[in-house]
A and B are shown apart, each in its own frame.
Chain A
């Protein structure tokens, strides 16, 4: 099902706002389609609103006006529970900041969204194994997050986002903290998912991602170019 946003506006006011002409960041009437089966790349300098766009699109940040449509229906008009369950079942999100549950091991962290969705434990474990080995961190699966390096954590987050074979993947700076080899693996994994029909959004200022993208956008001061 298609996912797009229409006429979205979002403003942050206050002292710590963006480097726009005024002292506040604003996003005006943005329209954007995330196409299934394609890798869409959004690049732009720091503070241009990439993460904001991603958050709005995946249902984590309600815009002031405009809406995000999934399958023709506005996702923010759903109830909170409904939206959460949609996110669990259909969306895979890699946050810009690596966030893992400190009380769970790597394997448990990756499997969590699947178990929450009610997937059989064995099946989830197999999928987890597959993803972790693809990303080259299979040997870390019994470790706790505090025992991981930045790049390892990043890859765990990516595996977690993909455990439910989501329809849409939102990756905020997925290649941060990674070496060349790691970047290659992550991006080809995302590329592969798109090949299987997923809509992939990569937000990055890493030029390395460009060669993996089907569609490219630039972003500046809250405007898509």
Chain B
């Protein structure tokens, strides 16, 4: 073994406590950075995937104070709900100049009662005009959905028979979706005809909360705006000219969640920052004390004829070891932590959260570990350089 490396190892071993504390502190920094990072990026990814899945530029739903919140809870929170407006709205909107594509959706909530397997959100789309649900649904089921067939979100419990009962109607589950980290995971998707079938059945059973004629209502209308048209103009037009409905842009749709998310991200980031700064101060303090004690050692080595470069190498090896061990341990613990607390985060934070042990996650972990190593080295090396400037002759005599 190289003499310098040997010296570094001997010193690390000899000063176990010192090595341990430094490593732990660096691990704390890396842990907080990486777990903070995973949580915030999981939140952002969940949000992004949701926005992508919404696909529409403008959403129109019945007017009413809590409707928008209702709508967001269906999509994000996995809290079943429904609301209806006359289906004449669809024709009216189709006539608008800037509307390139228009499609209606039909929502229904099942109950936890004898007639239903479980409480679920049902989202019906119109296969003729749909441009929102089918593009990503086709990944789970390429064929056309028949009457009585549904596709289940990733968290919907499907019995082995593949049949779920909704308002006494047996629904055949023909596919299931990838995880989105949103309310869509608790939703079953089907065509409008099937939803209407369910609603009628519910009305016959006398458990429906609405007596609206299924053939005359829709829940929401999604609009894709033609290029060259201003979205907010169209929103304005709809809100001004149509009674009983409200329109808003996709971007505003998840406002409450976006602000919640931003709030949370900020909180996490400041917490991470606080921990990091604290740990860094401690690392620097510990290290400068330790390096001061080691001026003596440097002097001894210089007396023996070690070059300054060799001295640097010795300390550098030690630091690399400490920083690397600390970063790896921190990142590994953060990874394990985020994986095992994933469901907790999903349910407790109550916001879309997307996070998987994927390649990019592992890559991210590696990058964080390497960056942690390099940054902690950069943080500590100036102290080494300063200590090396002490004249040897002083050491020799004192």
B396 CB–A CB distance under 8 Å: yes
Quick check: is A91 within 8 A (CB to CB) of the other chain?
Answer: yes
- A91–B395 CB distance below 8 A: no
Q: Of A18-26, A37-45, A80-88, A127-135, which binds chain B?
A: A80-88
Instruction: Select one of A88, A97, A99, A100 contacting B306, CB under 8 A.
Output: A88
Question: A84 and B300: CB pair below 8 A?
Answer: no
A195-220 residues at the B interface, CB under 8 angstroms: none
> Are A89 and B14 in contact (CB-based, < 8 A)?
no
Q: Which residues of B contact A86 (CB under 8 A)?
A: 305
Q: Are A60 and B13 in contact (CB under 8 A)?
A: no
- Give A59 to B101 CA distance when docked, in angstroms: 86
Q: Describe B's contact surface by its main secondary structure.
A: helix
Known: A87-B305, A113-B305. A99 touches B396 (CB 8 A): yes
Any chain A CB within 8 A of the CB of B205? no
- Whether A95 is near chain B, meaning CB under 8 Å from some CB there, is yes
A54-106 at interface with B (beta carbon < 8 Å) = 55, 60-61, 80-81, 84-89, 91, 93, 95-97, 99-104
Chain B positions 278-301 with a Cβ under 8 Å from a chain A Cβ: 296-297, 299-301
The answer on a CB contact under 8 Å between A91 and B305 is yes
Interface contact A102-B305, CB-CB below 8 Å: no
| Count of CB-CB pairs between chains A and B under 8 Å | 80
B94 at the interface (CB under 8 A from A): no
**CB within 8 A of A89: which of B7, B15, B299, B305?**
B305
Contact partners of A167 in chain B: CB under 8 A: none
Q: A60-B396, A61-B391 are in contact. Are A116 and B310 (CB under 8 A)?
A: yes
For the complex formed, measure the closest distance between the CB of A74 and the CB atoms of chain B, giving whole angstroms: 18
- Say yes or no: A55-B304 contact (C-beta < 8 A), given A102-B14, A103-B11, A104-B10: no
B363 within 8 Å of A by Cβ?
no
What are the residues of chain B within 8 A of A61 when measuring CB–CB? 391, 393
Closest to B302 in A: A84
Task: Please give, as numbers and ranges, the residues of chain B lying within 8 Å of A80 by CB-CB distance.
Answer: 307-308
User: A60 with B392: in contact, given A84-B308, A96-B397 (CB under 8 Å)?
Assistant: yes
**Per-position binary interface string of chain B over residues 253-283, scored 1 when its CB falls under 8 Å from any chain A CB and 0 otherwise:** 0000000000000000000000000000000
Q: Which B residues are in CB contact (< 8 Å) with A104? A: 7, 10
| Residue numbers in B under 8 Å from A113 (CB-CB) | 304-305
Bound CA span A147–B308, Å: 29
A86 to B11 alpha-carbon distance, docked (Å): 26
Residue of A nearest to B12 (CB): A103
Q: What is the chain B residue whose CB lies nearest that of A81?
A: B307
- Per-residue contact bits, chain B 49-93, to A (CB 8 Å; 1 contact, 0 not): 000000000000000000000000000000000000000000000
Neighbouring B residues of A48 by C-beta, 8 Å: none
Closest chain-A Cβ to B90's Cβ sits at a distance in Å of: 81
Q: Nearest-CB distance from B340 to chain A (Å)?
A: 39
Using CB atoms and an 8 Å cutoff, list the residues of chain A in contact with chain B. 51, 55, 60-61, 80-81, 84-89, 91, 93, 95-97, 99-104, 108, 112-113, 115-117, 160
Please list the 3 inter-chain residue pairs (A to B) with the smallest Cβ-Cβ separation, ordered nearest first: A88-B305, A103-B14, A87-B305
- List 25 A-B pairs, Cβ < 8 Å: A51-B396, A61-B393, A84-B306, A84-B310, A87-B303, A87-B304, A87-B305, A89-B305, A91-B305, A95-B303, A96-B396, A97-B396, A97-B397, A99-B299, A99-B395, A101-B297, A101-B301, A102-B14, A103-B7, A103-B10, A103-B13, A113-B305, A116-B3, A116-B304, A116-B310
